[in-house]
Structure 1
Amino acid sequence: MADMSLPAPTAAPAPVAIPLRQILPWAAFAAVIALVLLYFVGVEQGVLSVFAGETVHEFVHDGRHLLGFPCH
């Protein structure tokens, strides 16, 4: 017969603390990317348009409505 005993319990690994100095640049980068995406989805049309035409507006059109930005 095979040995049916349970394996010996092992200690759970302790979480490693990540210093704020390592997180801060990535958090700032993520915030800039989020603001750029928010601009293109929410504001890119009309007077504040960076690109001429409706290309960007049509590309993010469904996302605008999904996020509650009016555009018509």
Structure 2
Amino acid sequence: MAQPAVPPTQAAAPSPAALPVPHRVPVREILPWAVFALVLGAALLYFVGAEQGATSLVGGTWVHEFTHDGRHLLGFPCH
């Protein structure tokens, strides 16, 4: 005779012990990555949006040409 898929000793609903418990991540572990992402994002925004303008840090036009399509995609004027 075939055995049932669920043994009769187990309940249909999962027990509270079987539910996963979320892992808490301390802020001191997230903070360095958040600061890194903020600095990287600000640098990217500067180079795409403002470089080769009045606050240019790099001489020449290579930064402008490298980020040209990104400027148009993000809505920054460059012409």
- The interval holding the TM-score normalised by the smaller chain is 0.7 to 0.9
Query: Following TM superposition, where does structure 1 have runs of at least 4 consecutive aligned residues deviating by more than 4 angstroms?
Result: 1-4, 6-10
Q: Kindly indicate whether structure 1 or structure 2 has the higher relative contact order, using CA contacts under 8 Å at least 6 residues apart.
A: 1
> Could you tell me which residue of structure 2 aligns to residue 28 of structure 1?
35
TM-score by length of 1: 0.84
Alignment coverage as a number of residue pairs:
72
RMSD of the alignment, in Å?
2.0
TM-score by length of 2: 0.77
> Could you tell me which residue of structure 1 aligns to residue 69 of structure 2?
62
Q: Which residue of the other structure, out of 19, 27, 40, is the alignment partner of 2:26?
A: 19
Structure 1 residues not aligned, in runs of 5+: none
Structure 2 residues not aligned, in runs of 5+: none
Q: Which residue of the other structure, out of 48, 60, 65, is the alignment partner of 2:55?
A: 48
CA distance in 1: counterparts of 2:63 and 2:46, whole angstroms: 11
Percent sequence identity is 61
Query: Greater Rg, structure 1 or structure 2?
Result: 2
